[in-house]
Amino acid sequence: MSVAFEEVRLRLPHIELSAHLYGPEEGQPVIALHGWLDNSMSFSRLAPHLQGVRIVALDQAGHGHSGHRPPGADYSIWDYTHDVLQVAEQFGWKRFTLLGHSMGAIVSTLLAGALPERVERLALIDGLIPFTGEPETAPQKLGEALEARLALPRKRKPIYRRVEDAVAARMKGVGAVTREAAELLAQRGLMPVPGGYTWRTDPRLMLPSAMRLTQAHAWAFVDRLKCPVSLVLAEQGMLVRQPEFMRQVESRPMTLHRLAGGHHLHLDDEQGAQAVADCFNPFLRGA
């Protein structure tokens, strides 16, 4: 299933982002946030199934057609929350819903926990809190991050002779996807270069995090949420196999849906997109 969308570029005070707009202008305001190394095409199957909403599906900074952070900056997870807030300001949305997948779901949780008065609802797909680290691991993690930064200028992006080769590589990447899903992401994620094609993503996105929140930090954001939360978990995804995560989630006041499919179940096929929409449509209407 496909639907017409409008392509826009958003000139924020600190960066220029690209986005797809779906749905009627008078629809409920929704900002959609894709996962790590994906782009706004992540919502190209799901958006047509969502009713009564005005969706701004962002290419997050460093992804798709959006700008990259300036030299010397990095991609700390909390910096994305500032981007989202600036997008809402540009649209004049004082309150809005966040639709997030994976990293986008994490960004959504952090923003809604930090500024609960701004977020109407959270519709999350196979993501909730960031990867965590305990205090004793912090020095080692910072050292690894610093060494990776020093080594980055010597690394080169892979170049694929054909689009089909890039699609095949994406199918086997982090959060493996179907061929159709990989083709959709490649439509927006690839660019031509001498010798073939490479991904538009900023290489700094591959750098390890310099610092991570502790478990206590991460769950504190969840506990500060004031809005309704609907969390879709993929049975073959990344989270249901983590017993401690599931124990923590099940002890909190949110609606959980466990659906068949992998980490990108909303993009892999039409059946998965419809199943996710069936969970979210009543939720977005407040039913």
Longest dimension (CA), the chain: 53
- Report residue 3's pLDDT band, with 50, 70 and 90 as the boundaries: low
Q: Which of the four pLDDT bands, split at 50, 70 and 90, describes residue 1?
A: very low
**112, 122 Cβ separation under 8 angstroms:** yes
Mean pLDDT value across residues 110-125: 98
The answer to whether 37 touches 174, Cβ cutoff 8 Å, is yes
> Which tens digits make up the pLDDT trace of 178-206?
999 999 999 999 999 999 999 999 999 99
Residues 127, 245 contacting (CB under 8 angstroms): no
Q: Fill in the DSSP letter of residue 121.
A: E
What confidence tens digit (pLDDT) does each residue in 134-163 have? Answer: 999 999 999 999 999 999 999 999 999 999
- Catalytic positions are 102
Look up tokens 């299933």; give the residue: 1
- Give the pLDDT band of residue 176 (cuts 50, 70, 90): confident
Query: pLDDT tens across 201-244, in order?
Result: 999 999 999 999 999 999 999 999 999 999 999 999 989 999 99
Name the H helices within 172-269.
179-189, 215-223, 243-250, 265-268
For 22-34, the pLDDT digits (tens) are: 999 999 999 999 9
Q: Is residue 107 a contact partner of residue 33, using CB atoms and an 8 Å limit?
A: yes
CATH number of the domain at 6-133+211-284, out of 3.40.1260.10, 3.40.50.300, 3.40.50.1820, 3.40.1360.10? 3.40.50.1820
User: Tell me, what's the pLDDT at 132?
Assistant: 95
The structural domains of the chain, with segments of one domain joined by +, span 6-133+211-284
